[in-house]
């Protein structure tokens, strides 16, 4: 009977840690997405340099999360997000007009991480 109690306790601990991990990822991606939204607002107001600076700060924030993200996230997702940051920065530093879709693409990519990490019935089975 003690083995069963220990096994059930471990399962509940794993579930609790998984829920904590999902909440942590959601909070972090929300912060990063908000930073990109602020950069988009700056760009719309004509402050290209401020927008680029804001995106760079968000990128540095993303890169500072590397020790956690390389353990907990898929490496393909990390590469996609990092690439999206650099693509947006390249557009902001270029002469062509940056569309809202460029900002939205990065925000959606960040939000996809949280969606994929959420616990669903399908992920449990």
What are the pLDDT tens digits along the chain (125 aa)? 899 999 999 999 988 988 898 899 999 999 999 999 999 999 999 888 899 999 999 999 999 988 888 888 888 889 999 999 999 999 998 888 888 888 999 999 999 888 887 777 666 66
- Helix (H/G/I), strand (E/B), else coil: 24: helix
Q: What's the pTM? A: 0.84
Alpha carbon distance 125, 121 (integer Å): 6
Per-residue model confidence (pLDDT) at position 123: 64
- The answer for residues whose C-beta is within 8 angstroms of residue 61's C-beta and 6 or more apart is 31, 32, 35
Give the pLDDT of residue 19: 87
CATH number of 22-124, picked from 2.30.230, 1.10.3470, 1.20.120, 1.10.3860: 1.20.120
Q: What is the pLDDT of residue 72?
A: 83
| Residue 32, φ and ψ in degrees, nearest 5 | -65, -40
Do the Cβ atoms of 101 and 13 come closer than 8 Å?
no
> Domains of the chain: which residue ranges?
22-124
Looking at residue 125, its pLDDT comes to: 61
């Amino acid at each position: 009977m003690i083995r069963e109690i220990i096994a059930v306790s471990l399962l509940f601990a794993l579930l609790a840690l998984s829920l904590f991990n999902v909440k942590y990822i959601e909070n972090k991606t929300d912060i990063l997405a908000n930073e990109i939204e602020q950069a988009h607002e700056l760009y719309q107001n004509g402050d290209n340099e401020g927008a680029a600076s804001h995106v760079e700060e968000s990128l540095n924030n993303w890169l500072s999360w590397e020790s956690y993200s390389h353990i907990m996230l898929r490496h393909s997702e990390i590469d996609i997000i990092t690439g999206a940051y650099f693509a947006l920065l390249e557009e902001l530093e270029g002469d062509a007009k940056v569309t809202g879709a460029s900002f939205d693409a990065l925000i959606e990519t960040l939000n996809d991480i949280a969606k994929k990490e959420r616990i669903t019935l399908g992920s449990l089975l």
